Structure formats: C-alpha cells, structure tokens
Chain A
Amino acid sequence: GAGVSQTPSNKVTEKGKYVELRCDPISGHTALYWYRQSLGQGPEFLIYFQGTGAADDSGLPNDRFFAVRPEGSVSTLKIQRTERGDSAVYLCASSPTGDNEKLFFGSGTQLSVL
C-alpha cells in the first residue's frame, strides 16, 4: 500500500481481555517496528522485525506482550490479560532495511483498557 496501515484505529477493551493490533507495512519494506506512546511521552520502542524474525524484542514490557510477522509482511501485536496501564497509542513503523533510521510510521491504534 501507499503507507503503513494500522487497524483498528481505536480499540476499547475491558481489563483482563485479549487484544490483537494489526500493522500492514509499506510493500517491500523488510524492517518493521512497534512503538508505544503514552500521553505526554515520546514513542517507546517495543520490538523490531527483520523479515519474519524478531531481531530485538527487548522493549516488550512483560510476557503478556507478543508480536508475530509470519510471512515477513503484516505483523500482529498481541496483548494478553490487558491492564489499565496498557492504555496508549501503539505505533507501527517500517523501513526499507534495518539499517535505515528513517522510519515510516502508521497512524497508530489508540488502545483504551477500561
């Protein structure tokens, strides 16, 4: 597609529920990143994929968070047993290669955990 697409744009869920957030990167971009942005803060790195594999998942806050990219294109961020503190905007970005810091961001998914 023309840009990075994220769905849904908004997700409201209840504490304890499971959610999946989807990211469709720019066609041909091998590198994909997930960031989380809380109100009044800058984006915080979560995980980086090069192709199908997670090259660095050191930013995932705990084992409730997991992400996959099975075919090297679309990625899904999965959050189990959601907590109110998980409420944030989840941003996905892609770049042509992993060595390029010029990232193309999607418009994010606003996750609200009630």
Chain B
Amino acid sequence: EDKVVQSPLSLVVHEGDTVTLNCSYEVTNFRSLLWYKQEKKAPTFLFMLTSSGIEKKSGRLSSILDKKELSSILNITATQTGDSAIYLCAATNSNSGYALNFGKGTSLLVTP
C-alpha cells in the first residue's frame, strides 16, 4: 500500500528562522510529489516535483526531490507569521496519477 510520511508533525519557530520540513514516500510506480499549504481549510498548491535534484523555488520557499532516498524537503527561509499553516505532502503513482496520496501534514506555527 502506498504511504507518505511527514516529519515533524508539528513545529514552532520564531519569525526569521529557517525551517525544513520532511516528506518520505513509498509509492509503487512513483510519478510525482507535491507540496500544498493548508490555511483554515482549502489546501493551495506550492510545488510539483518529478525529477531528482532539481530545486524549485518560489520566493522564500524551495523544495527538492531525492528519488534515491524516496524523500523530499520543503525549506522556508526568513519565516513570517503568515507562513503559519499545515504543510501537506502528497505523492502520485502512474496507475492513478490524479489521486493524491497525502501525508498527515506538518503543522507550522511561526511566533512573532
């Protein structure tokens, strides 16, 4: 059975800190790994990764996939209180690429 595990489950940091969130996966016929940010209820798309070693960046956020280690990290530099949210990692497989298999998420709280 496909599995996605995120760590840590929760994290509290001070504004300005840098954080690294981890995601590991066990997926048959792996296709892609995605990161979403969930504030309140609606998850919003951050990154989709399919190739190993290629960093994707968006402002202070970046992410990279390691297919050898079956893992991905999401980095947030110079954190702000607005970064407080649940960060969800999801993997897809080639057999049902549309069905995202989510981890439990990492709850990040950034304090002033």
Q: Interface residues, chain A, CB within 8 Å of chain B? A: 4, 31, 33, 35, 40-45, 48, 55-56, 59, 89, 91, 95, 98-99, 101-108, 110
Contact = CB atoms under 8 A, between A and B. Distances in A.
A101 B48 contact: yes
Contacts of A56: 96, 98-99
A45 B103 CA distance: 12
B97 interface: yes
B57 to A, nearest CB: 17
A59 B101 CA distance: 11
B88 A43 contact: yes
B102 interface: yes
Nearest to B9: A40
Contacts of A55: 98
A43 B103 CA distance: 8
12 contacts: A35-B100, A42-B104, A43-B43, A44-B102, A45-B101, A56-B96, A56-B99, A91-B43, A101-B32, A101-B100, A102-B45, A107-B41
Contacts of A105: 36, 42-44
B92 to A, nearest CB: 6
Contacts of B99: 33, 45, 48, 56, 59
Mostly, the B contact residues are strand
B74 to A, nearest CB: 15
A42 B44 contact: no
Interface residues of B, number: 25
Contacts, number: 63
A97 B79 CA distance: 34
A98 B98 contact: yes
A99 B42 CA distance: 21
B42 A107 contact: yes
A99 B96 CA distance: 9
A99 B41 contact: no
Interface string B16-58: 0000000000000001101010001111110010000000000
